[in-house]
Structure 1
Amino acid sequence: MIRDIIDIPLPFLRALTVDWRPDWRGQPPATGTDGSDQVVYNAFPRWVGAPQLVLPPEMVGAWRALVLRGQGRVNAYRVRMVDPVVSPVWSGAGWREVWSAWQSGLYVEPRPQMPCAAPAAAGATSIVVDESALSRPITVGSFLSYQDWPFAVTGRSGSGAATTLQVELLRVAIPAGAQIDVIARGVFLASGDAMGLPAYGLDRVARPQLDLVEWITR
């Protein structure tokens, strides 16, 4: 099946709730003959999330058009895994200013990146990066990505051009010098055909609920 990837720009990702998490894909525990519990992991882990967005009236039509392009579960979505508490990404500009720029084709989405200072193999639990050009150090607990494959930061040591990050779910190799996205991006599928379609009441503010599962067979 050939899927298009629908890009969800950053201005839409005004989240009321943030709950990105790994789905380790473990099977229900079974009790062995000796009374011990056994948990089996026999599938590739993936990221899932069900963020709820809040969209002012000006954004509702454009959001509806974007979701309709997804055709339910037919196509996929490239989503920024925004976590405003751990890794704030918004500038001082208000959403109206950002939205006006987006509508007029003048919006330039921030995409901070940093180079991987040494090659890292798939499955590695640490990577060395050069964060000297970033506006702030990488935060423990934040999400990063390489070529739309997200991973999480679980610890750090060092600084500047020789920062070591402990990571989880690094599922692809990263060559030396490759650029890592500081605002993590992943490619996700909708869990249902009606996911994300906006509804609103008298306040005309839509609060669409997403339910996303990472597309790992792409």
Structure 2
Amino acid sequence: MKRPIVTVPHELLRFVEVDWDIDWRGQSNGDTTGGNSAVVFNKFPRWIGSPSLFLDTAAMAMWRTVRAQAQGRLGIYKLTMIDPVGFDGDRSQQPLGFAGGGLFASGAGFAHDPLCFADSDAPAGATRIVISGAEHSPRPGQIMSHQMWPFVVTSVEERAGGVCALEIQMPLRGAIARGDPIRLQGQGLFEAVEEGMGRSSYGLAMVSRPRLSFREVLNR
């Protein structure tokens, strides 16, 4: 059965807590006779996270719609990895207007998608990429992504002309060609760990703070 992909609207992503992390999926193989621990890595690493949302009345209805479209654990959530520590999204979330600067009658504009571009090719498995054209210079700890595969920046070497060489983890899971767009704010495909994930309850205050539980989808 084909799994539905549901895009989580950016306006829903008001996280109260964020804990994005890489699950390297190492398994203990016991201790050696010398007293050293042995760890076996026989599965692909993946991103995990259990952020909690803040939902008001309108957002609760929207989130209920998203969950219904996902159909429990069947669906795949296309999700922007909001992470204020690694990337200050507030600097890049101002709506874009038309050429003359005007917005729609509602006051809304086009969604802003902060990007940079690959300055050279990089093969799958690479842990170093070179980028240019970034609206804001990347920084260590920032989560970025290419074609919905997130990675974290571990070091930044700034060069002339707005070019930066980045050390990254986890290694690239798909090749990058020169000129490819790379998201400065990571985006990935995730599934619910639990069937009832994100079920929200509310009282007289009409607000809800559901705890989510995501893991990255590797089979695509």
TM-score, length-scaled by structure 2: 0.88
1:105 offset after TM fit, Å? Answer: 11
**8 Å contact kept, 1:10–1:109:** no
| Pairing partner for 2:126 from 124, 149, 153 | 124
1:29 offset after TM fit, Å? Answer: 4.2
Q: State the AA in 2 paired with 1:120.
A: A
- Return 5+ residue gaps in structure 1 as ranges: 95-100
Between the aligned residues of both structures, percent identity stands at 38
Q: State the AA in 1 paired with 2:145.
A: S
Distance 1:17 1:181 in 2: 22
Q: State the AA in 1 paired with 2:217.
A: W
1:109 offset after TM fit, Å? Answer: 2.3
Partner of 1:140: 140
**Structure 2 residue matching 1:193: 3-state secondary structure:** coil
| Pairing partner for 1:215 from 187, 198, 217 | 217
TM-score, length-scaled by structure 1: 0.89
1:85 offset after TM fit, Å? Answer: 2.6
Q: State the AA in 2 paired with 1:210.
A: L
Distance 2:79 2:162 in 1: 28
Count of matched residue positions in the alignment of Structure 1 and Structure 2: 208
**8 Å contact kept, 2:26–2:42:** yes
- The 4+ residue runs of structure 1 with deviation greater than 4 A are 91-94, 104-107
Q: Give the structure with the higher percent strand.
A: 2
Matching of residue 202 in structure 1 with residue 204 in structure 2:
yes
**8 Å contact kept, 2:92–2:114:** no
Matching of residue 168 in structure 1 with residue 169 in structure 2:
yes
- Return 5+ residue gaps in structure 2 as ranges: 95-102
**8 Å contact kept, 1:51–1:210:** yes
Distance 1:37 1:28 in 2: 7
Distance 1:71 1:213 in 2: 16
Partner of 1:13: 13
Q: State the AA in 1 paired with 2:176.
A: I
* Correspondence list, 1:19-98, <5 A: 19-90=19-90
1:67 offset after TM fit, Å? Answer: 0.9
Partner of 1:97: none
